[in-house]
Amino acid sequence: MFDYEKYFLQLPEPAIKHVLHFLRLPDLATLKETCPDLADLCDLEIRILDNEFTSRPFFQFERCVLEDGVNDVEIMPERQNASVTYYPGNQSVYLFGGETLGVREDGAPRATFNDLWRLDTGTMKWSRVIITSAPYPSPKCQASFVTWKDQLILCGGRAYHHDGRDTFFSEIHFFDVQTSTWNRGNFSPDLMPIGGHSAVVTENFMIMYGGFFEQPTQEQIETLFVVELREQVFHRVHLQKLPIEEDPDESPSQFPKFQWRKTKLVLIREGLLILTGELLPGDYGSSALIDFDPVDVTATWQWKRIETIGRWWRPKDWRDPRHPLHGYLPQERELMNAVENCSLPNYDFHQIAEVRNSRIVRLVSLGSVEKTSQMLRTSGRKDYDNLQTHYTEFCRQLNRHLEAEFENRMVLHAMSPDSEQLRKTSAVFEYQNIKCRIDGCFLAKQECSAVFRHGAPSFKVRVRIDEIEKNPKILNSDDFDKWELRQRIETTVNQLHSKFYQSGRMEQLAPRVPTRNSLLKRLSLYVTEIDSNVAIEDFNVLRWKVQPMQYPSPVETRDFSLVGAHHDVIMHAGLVKFNVTMKRMGQSVLMTPVSRIPTSPRNSRKKEKEAIERLLYTSNKQ
């Protein structure tokens, strides 16, 4: 046990403040609770974090994985479309439900969950919340999940029925964090079945928008669903346009035609909302600012349309040569509009998280970088190229090693076909920080004719990549990098099988890896900031700014969960697709605000820990 009274408290106060400056909010909260002597300094550092929020506009990615040798951590089943919320009382993220990835092999629909998990944002480890008594929410996905005082509110949701149809829910459950129990609300009138919607809470209401409607009417598009949480009463609120002077040269603005399940409702302050997200084809670049009475739900709710730029960049006018429908006949455009989405290529990345301090609301979203924006990829290209050079050298050395082994086995088989060495079918190869095992790499001579008749030999590649600290040019890898490397190793083995066993298939001789550069298959951050005290008449533009591509940032992931946790943003779960499905789940990505564009892909928390250890060692030595 570290004796902080003997060592840490003896440091000069500037040294202690310097150490605390490396910590995030959950670390400061834990330290404040366990070390009462440091409570005042921790409170000061928390206030400094709030004040420095605006000076840290960039985010640094950190993929959180289990450390080697850790066996006491629960593993969450892989899933997508889960519901998440942040509870500041214990600095934790709660995740409910979701659905399994893809379709089952027998063609049956995806299964849904009704389990609850908690992420400790200090340790970044998940643990399942044990619920000991009924009622339990139904298994479902795409439900809204929000925090209200000391409770979490779960509303609506969707699940697959056994006959393949979607089932929607109208139930609302309240989760008591202190007692770990669910309670079902009893609302009047009953809430309509809904799923895929967005929700926020104020002091008195839960406000919802969107959901699944095949062809929503204009009246539905301009309607909010409001729940009085104390009285448990449900209302529909029809929005009215804010009376502002229109430009006589422009047509009167209509309420933006949002994609209902791809919108985000954000509370700027009590009495002011913003609704933003993807829009239907033919309606582009807009968000809705909504003014309401934070006390009286029956008062008039008014809206104002504001321009939104930088996030979904598809041109507004199909006559623009850059528009995907430019040059098509009217009937062809009408047909394609039924399936095309207005926000290509970002229609699969509609998730938005919000973080804030006392003055600023920051919205954060993940999406693809426009292909023409090569400058945004410059910062990550060198890192990726260094990694690919390392992989290429590994495969070259592996090819030399395996080719020599194949030749030795051929000679040995001719001289001593019953040799024990020929019974070995696996190959193990290690180069720098990469170690791979190939089960079924080698075959006995008598097996070759059978393999030739029935196709290429069957083998399995396992790869382990350790971190390297001595060589700064070699980077730590993530799942996508390992998948690329496995594809290249499989190609190397297939080529050797074709040469020595004459059994390789031509389609297996070319590596099934992404088109270079795979930075094209990674996501970048889009950020916009809103003054929480802005006057409604002065708010006219929502401007998103894309941040330069980092390496390694998350790969293109569909149906993931994104949530703000104090000033941090956390991404979890989802489905990765490229050529074949990569079922990547079980890791979380932490995005921490920083003052400069991150240039190093090294583990930032490890660097912080090393800096603190150096400071403690130096101070104690003195």
Q: Percent of the chain, pLDDT > 90?
A: 30
Peptide bond into 552 cis (omega under 30): yes
Neighbour tally for 571: CB within 10 Å: 24
- Which range among 19-28, 110-119, 336-345, 484-493 shows the weakest confidence by mean pLDDT? 336-345
pLDDT tier at 207, thresholds 50, 70, 90: very high
584 pLDDT above the threshold of 70? no
Q: What is the pLDDT of residues 75-109, one digit of tens each?
A: 788 888 999 999 999 999 999 999 887 665 555 55
Q: Which two tokens stand for residue 561?
A: 């969960």
155 pLDDT above the threshold of 80? yes
What is the Cα–Cα distance from 596 to 58, expressed in whole angstroms?
Answer: 6
Q: Average pLDDT of 21-31? A: 89
SS3 of 564, please? strand
SS3 of 178, please? coil
SS3 of 466, please? coil
Q: Alpha carbon of 405 to those of 112, 402, 411: distances in Å?
A: 49, 5, 10
Averaged pLDDT of the chain: 78
What is the Cα–Cα distance from 582 to 266, expressed in whole angstroms?
Answer: 32
**What is the torsional sign of CA 613, 614, 618, 619?**
negative
What is the Cα–Cα distance from 138 to 155, expressed in whole angstroms?
Answer: 11
pLDDT of residue 483: 77
Of the segments 74-78, 188-192, 264-268, 317-321, which one has the largest average pLDDT value?
264-268
52 pLDDT above the threshold of 80? yes
DSSP string, 372-428: T-GGGGHHHHHHHHHHHHHHHHHHHHHHHHHHHHHHHHHHHHHH-TT-GGGG---EE
pTM: 0.82
H/E stretch holding 572: strand 568-572
What is the Cα–Cα distance from 622 to 616, expressed in whole angstroms?
Answer: 10
Q: Which two tokens stand for residue 117?
A: 């998990």
Amino acid 331 reads: Q
Enumerate the H helices of 206-329 as residue ranges.
218-221
Of the segments 303-312, 460-469, 560-569, which one has the largest average pLDDT value?
560-569
pLDDT of residue 119: 94
517 pLDDT above the threshold of 70? no
- Which range among 3-17, 414-428, 460-474, 525-539 shows the weakest confidence by mean pLDDT? 460-474
Q: Percent of the chain, pLDDT > 70?
A: 70
First to last CA, the chain: 22
pLDDT of residue 444: 64
E strands along 25-109, which residues?
58-64, 83-87, 92-96
607 pLDDT above the threshold of 80? no
- Which range among 169-173, 189-193, 320-324, 545-549 shows the weakest confidence by mean pLDDT? 320-324
Cross-strand bridge partners of residue 462: 437
H/E stretch holding 293: none
pLDDT of residue 507: 47
- Which range among 73-77, 275-279, 516-520, 542-546 shows the weakest confidence by mean pLDDT? 516-520
Q: How many CA atoms lie within 13 A of 227 on its CB side?
A: 28
- Which range among 108-112, 205-209, 290-294, 386-390 shows the weakest confidence by mean pLDDT? 108-112
Neighbour tally for 265: CB within 10 Å: 22
What is the Cα–Cα distance from 572 to 19, expressed in whole angstroms?
Answer: 29
What is the Cα–Cα distance from 602 to 524, expressed in whole angstroms?
Answer: 18
Q: Average pLDDT of 208-222? A: 69
Q: Which two tokens stand for residue 196?
A: 């895929």
Q: Which two tokens stand for residue 553?
A: 């940032």
DSSP string, 90-111: TTEEEEE--B-SS--TTSPPPP
Residue 33 near residue 26 (C-beta atoms within 8 A): no
pLDDT of residue 116: 96
Q: Alpha carbon of 291 to those of 210, 256, 274, 295, 355: distances in Å?
A: 18, 16, 9, 12, 21
- Name the nearest CA neighbour of 616 among 40, 16, 39, 13: 16
**What is the torsional sign of CA 374, 377, 383, 385?**
negative
Higher pLDDT, 482 or 108: 482
| DSSP letter assigned to residue 453 | H
What is the Cα–Cα distance from 384 to 432, expressed in whole angstroms?
Answer: 18
- Strand 302-309 and strand 240-241: the pairing is parallel
